[in-house]
């Protein structure tokens, strides 16, 4: 293994509930009232994949960008300041780097949001590469973001890389790019959900993965 590619939301920072709340508020402003739990199950996808679950294509073509922009503003204004990192994120990154493993991000977030998330997680100075929704034509569960990360890592073979994420969409996207995935439960999905999507191992959170580092696929 030469590199690890991390998801961000729900994997390194505790932000899933806030994203769901922001989407719910934005949809309401445009006349749609959707159950929060239903929206939460879609977090991990980019807006291009999330919105079609809830509203029809003609409406997306007409006002989809307005909804997504409004979601971003609501999230930044109401929730960004409340986000905390999960335990031992920086410690896990430092352990990987000490072992000579390169570290990258592959997030469905927009590049400006990702900048704030890196600061919150305390990893801005520990990255070899990063990709956001701006680097992908289609977001997770499509493989575009992981394929872009592989390219930014210098064209590593998928077999030389492991992905770490918290949703089935991470595992599905990575799998389509030929990359194995370690799943984390801290984003709210169950172990059976993550295993079914293709995760080769499942841990509670970054701290749990670090505690079992030597026995994990990372070692």
pLDDT the model gives residue 65: 96
**Contacting residues for 5 by C-beta, under 8 A, at least 6 apart:** 104, 105, 106, 146, 149, 150, 153, 161, 162, 163, 164, 174, 179
Given a cut of 90, whether residue 125 has pLDDT beyond it is yes
Q: What is the pLDDT of residues 207-217, one digit of tens each?
A: 999 999 999 99
| 44 secondary structure, DSSP code | T
Phi and psi of 184, rounded to 5°? -120, 140
**Contacting residues for 152 by C-beta, under 8 A, at least 6 apart:** 104, 129, 130, 131
Q: What is the pTM of this model?
A: 0.95
Given a cut of 90, whether residue 167 has pLDDT beyond it is yes
Quickly state the pLDDT bin for 111 (edges 50, 70, 90).
confident
Quickly state the pLDDT bin for 159 (edges 50, 70, 90).
very high
**Contacting residues for 136 by C-beta, under 8 A, at least 6 apart:** 46, 142, 144, 145, 148
Q: Percentage of residues in the chain with pLDDT exceeding 70?
A: 100
Query: How far out from the chain centre does Cα 22 lie?
Result: 16
What average pLDDT score do residues 165-179 get? 97
Q: Which CATH class is domain 3-15+84-215?
A: alpha beta
Mean pLDDT of all residues belonging to the chain:
96
- The tokens describing 122, both together, are 């305390």
Domain locations in the chain?
Answer: 3-15+84-215, 16-81
Q: What is the pLDDT of residues 21-46, one digit of tens each?
A: 999 999 999 999 999 999 999 999 99
**Contacting residues for 65 by C-beta, under 8 A, at least 6 apart:** none
CA pair distance 18, 110, nearest whole angstrom:
16
Closest CA to 74 of 29, 9, 13: 29
Q: What is the pLDDT of residues 195-211, one digit of tens each?
A: 999 999 999 999 999 99
What average pLDDT score do residues 101-126 get? 94
């Amino acid at each position: 293994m030469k590199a690890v590619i991390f998801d961000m939301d729900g994997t390194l920072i505790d932000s899933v509930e806030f994203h769901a709340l922001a989407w719910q508020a934005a949809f309401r402003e445009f006349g749609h009232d959707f159950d929060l739990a239903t929206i939460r199950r879609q977090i991990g996808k980019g807006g291009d994949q999330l919105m079609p679950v809830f509203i029809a294509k003609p409406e997306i073509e007409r006002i989809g960008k307005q909804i997504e922009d409004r979601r971003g503003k609501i999230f930044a204004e109401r929730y960004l300041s409340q986000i905390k990192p999960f335990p031992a994120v920086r410690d896990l990154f430092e352990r990987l780097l000490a072992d000579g493993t390169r570290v990258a991000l592959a997030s469905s977030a927009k590049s400006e949001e990702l900048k704030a998330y890196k600061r919150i997680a305390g990893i801005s100075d520990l990255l070899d590469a990063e990709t956001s929704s701006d680097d992908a034509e289609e977001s997770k569960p499509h493989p575009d973001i992981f394929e872009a990360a592989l390219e930014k890592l210098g064209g590593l073979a998928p077999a030389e890389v492991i992905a770490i994420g918290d949703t089935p969409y991470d595992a599905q996207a990575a799998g389509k790019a030929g990359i194995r995935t370690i799943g984390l439960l801290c984003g709210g999905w169950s172990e059976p959900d993550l295993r079914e999507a293709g995760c080769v191992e499942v841990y509670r959170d970054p701290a749990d993965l670090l505690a079992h580092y030597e026995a994990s696929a990372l070692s």
